[in-house]
């Protein structure tokens, strides 16, 4: 179209002038107005209407017979005449361009769905979509997809396919007589995904927290600690080897009495020392001490020698010969048993799980003789006694069969009190599981 506002004399004349130009061009020549007259910005302004018209045409919407006549062949759009609205004019080329654009985007949407795992199948009643990962590639021509099918496929692309079976462990091992599937898959939640992993489900981003793994781990630890094994498995037991030495410990204790107490010989020793004063004697002064009772009315005192530490009176000078006697008593406790560090015996415990399907393990005890083995005093012929952690007797002799994990004790049954240890402990654990056979 061409803007003739200046020639026509104003806006009121513009519309009419364009109308006349269009009539003249159509009636006289049978051709539409030259293409360069149609301004592209004006065509863009009417893009929404043209798109709607194109969609209406391709969907079979009736148009005014005087304006457009569409070809009846499916998928081959065609038109004659022109469509005019305000300042926009569209012809068959425009509609074909719109049709090509829509077809391109529709095929692109179908290709994206194929990348997301959607398959399209040609069914007896039309094309159907499928998201089962176990099915093969689709056989439908995706260029023939309609928008309703594409919209349905987009909606289903974020959903878990219904009825998708989950294989159970027994089926994976191909055991005859065991069902091939159990429950169906359902949409995951954050608890179902490992910590640090993420996934999209039903249009939502799920950040895994590993809660399911944590719960399964704690349950497994608890079940294993209690010896609980699922019915469809046999436990595989493991037992480590343990060696406990039975050594001599000294009996009795040092005593403050002469003679032997247990392994000790007690002796008292008295040590005597004499200390002589040896201080120099000094001479005392002479003085008269009156005393009316004495014949001479008194007497002279002093003039002799004495010790400043111990006193005394000596006639001549010298040193003090006073003696102090000190006695110290000490006890000695000598080991006289001759068994210091002696080993009476070694208790060696082990276990074997030779029959993996009997849910049991055989514990074995070997009594290895030490250098002083002959000094042990046995209470009975059953030299070895097996007990559990609670002290209950489980059996006697060199072997014991158990059927659950835990700690088991084996003791030597002796009268001796001069031993440091009479018991060895061995742990039974579950190292793994083996699937039971189904008859």
* pLDDT, tens only, 290-320: 988 888 888 888 888 999 898 888 888 999 9
Whose tokens are 């490992």? That residue is: 194
Q: Is the pLDDT of residue 386 over 80?
A: yes
Domain of residue 353, residue span: 236-250+342-435
Nearest CA to 352 among 363, 340, 337? 363
**Residue 266 shares a structural domain with residue 412:** no
Does residue 55 sit within a domain?
A: yes
**Residue 313 shares a structural domain with residue 426:** no
Residues 6 or more apart in contact with residue 288 via CB below 8 angstroms: 298, 299, 300, 301
Q: How many CA atoms lie within 13 A of 299 on its CB side?
A: 7
Nearest CA to 26 among 78, 82, 106, 109? 82
**289, 303 Cβ separation under 8 angstroms:** no
Q: How many CB atoms lie within 10 A of CB 384?
A: 20
Q: What is the dihedral of CA 38, 41, 45, 49, to 10 degrees?
A: 50
The C-alpha angle 407, 413, 419, rounded to 5 degrees, equals: 90
Q: In the predicted model, what is the mean pLDDT of the chain?
A: 77
**69 vs 167: CA distance, rounded Å:** 59
Q: What is the pLDDT of residue 277?
A: 92
Which range scores top for mean pLDDT: 8-22, 40-54, 212-226?
A: 212-226
Look at phi and psi of residue 346 and say left if phi exceeds 0, alpha if psi is from -120 to 50, else beta. Answer: beta
Take residue 309 and report the two structure tokens written for it: 């530490």
Nearest CA to 275 among 243, 241, 309? 309
Q: Is the pLDDT of residue 107 over 50?
A: yes
Q: What is the pLDDT of residue 217?
A: 85
Last residue of a domain, one of 288, 315, 335: 335
Does residue 43 sit within a domain?
A: yes
- Cα 154 → chain centroid: 38
Q: Is the pLDDT of residue 22 over 70?
A: no
- Cα 254 → chain centroid: 56
Cα distances (angstroms) measured from residue 404 to each of 22, 138, 233, 331, 408: 100, 55, 14, 56, 10
Last residue of a domain, one of 70, 86, 105: 105
Q: What is the pLDDT of residue 79?
A: 55
Q: What is the pLDDT of residue 200?
A: 81
pLDDT band at 194 (very low <50, low <70, confident <90, very high): very high
**Residue 277 shares a structural domain with residue 426:** no
**Residue 310 shares a structural domain with residue 376:** no
What's phi and psi for 178, nearest 5 deg?
Answer: -95, 140
**333, 265 Cβ separation under 8 angstroms:** yes
Nearest CA to 49 among 106, 88, 75, 82? 88
- What length is written for the chain? 439
Does residue 192 sit within a domain?
A: no
**352 vs 240: CA distance, rounded Å:** 9
pLDDT in tens, 409-432: 999 999 998 999 999 999 998 888
Beta-bridged to residue 289, according to DSSP, are: 299
Take residue 217 and report the two structure tokens written for it: 């781990």
**266 vs 334: CA distance, rounded Å:** 7
User: What's the total number of domains in the chain?
Assistant: 3
**184 vs 100: CA distance, rounded Å:** 43
Q: Calculate what percentage of the chain has a pLDDT beyond 90.
A: 29
Take residue 397 and report the two structure tokens written for it: 């002799």
Give the CATH number, domain containing residue 368.
2.60.40
**3 state SS of 431:** strand
Average pLDDT over residues 340-365: 87
Q: What is the pLDDT of residue 2?
A: 36
**Residue 246 shares a structural domain with residue 282:** no
Q: What is the pLDDT of residue 326?
A: 92
**247, 281 Cβ separation under 8 angstroms:** no
Q: What is the pLDDT of residue 232?
A: 73
Average pLDDT over residues 80-96: 74
- Asked whether the whole model's pTM tops 0.75, one would answer no
Q: What is the pLDDT of residue 18?
A: 35
- Cα 227 → chain centroid: 21
Nearest CA to 349 among 411, 264, 249, 426? 426
**116 vs 133: CA distance, rounded Å:** 11
Which regions of 42-118 does DSSP assign to beta strands (E)? 83-85, 88-90
Last residue of a domain, one of 63, 79, 105: 105
Q: Is the pLDDT of residue 395 over 60?
A: yes
Q: What is the pLDDT of residue 422?
A: 93
Does residue 272 sit within a domain?
A: yes
**Residue 290 shares a structural domain with residue 430:** no
Average pLDDT over residues 385-406: 92
């Amino acid at each position: 179209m061409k803007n003739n506002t200046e020639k026509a004399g104003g806006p009121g004349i513009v519309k009419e002038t364009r109308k006349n130009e269009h009539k003249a061009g159509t009636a006289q020549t049978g051709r539409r107005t030259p293409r360069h007259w149609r301004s592209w910005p004006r065509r863009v302004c009417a893009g929404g209407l043209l798109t709607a018209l194109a969609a209406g045409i391709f969907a079979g919407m009736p148009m005014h017979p005087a304006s457009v006549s569409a070809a009846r062949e499916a998928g081959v759009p065609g038109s004659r005449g022109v469509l005019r609205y305000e300042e926009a004019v569209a012809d068959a080329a425009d509609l074909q361009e719109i049709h090509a654009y829509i077809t391109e985007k529709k095929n692109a949407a179908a290709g994206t769905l194929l990348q997301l795992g959607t398959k399209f199948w040609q069914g007896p009643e039309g094309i159907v979509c499928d998201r089962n990962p176990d099915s093969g590639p689709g056989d439908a021509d995706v260029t023939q997809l309609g928008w309703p099918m594409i919209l349905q496929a987009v909606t289903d692309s974020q959903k878990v396919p219904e009825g998708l079976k989950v294989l159970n462990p027994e089926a994976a091992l191909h055991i005859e007589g065991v069902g091939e599937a159990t429950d169906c898959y359902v949409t995951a939640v954050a608890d179902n995904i490992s910590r640090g992993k993420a996934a999209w489900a039903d249009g939502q981003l799920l950040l895994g927290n590993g809660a399911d793994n944590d719960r399964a781990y704690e349950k497994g630890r608890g079940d294993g600690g209690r010896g609980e094994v699922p019915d469809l498995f046999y436990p595989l037991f493991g037992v480590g080897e343990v060696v406990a030495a039975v050594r001599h410990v000294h009996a009795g204790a040092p005593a403050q009495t002469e003679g032997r107490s247990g392994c000790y010989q007690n002796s008292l020793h008295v040590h005597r020392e004499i200390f002589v004063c040896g201080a120099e004697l000094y001479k005392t002064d002479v003085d008269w001490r009156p005393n009316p009772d004495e014949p001479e009315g008194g007497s002279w005192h002093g003039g002799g020698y004495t010790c400043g530490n111990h006193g005394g009176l000596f006639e001549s000078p010298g040193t003090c010969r006073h003696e102090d006697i000190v006695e110290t008593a000490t006890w000695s406790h000598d080991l006289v048993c001759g068994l210091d560090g002696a080993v009476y015996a070694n208790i060696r415990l082990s276990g074997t799980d030779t029959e993996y399907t009997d849910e049991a393990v055989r514990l074995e005890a070997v009594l290895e003789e030490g250098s002083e083995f002959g000094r042990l005093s046995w209470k009975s012929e059953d030299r070895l006694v097996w007990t559990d952690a609670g002290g209950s007797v489980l059996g006697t002799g060199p072997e014991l069969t158990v059927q659950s994990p835990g700690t088991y004790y084996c003791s030597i049954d002796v009268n001796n009190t001069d031993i440091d240890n009479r018991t060895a402990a061995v742990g039974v654990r579950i190292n793994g599981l083996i699937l039971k056979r189904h008859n």
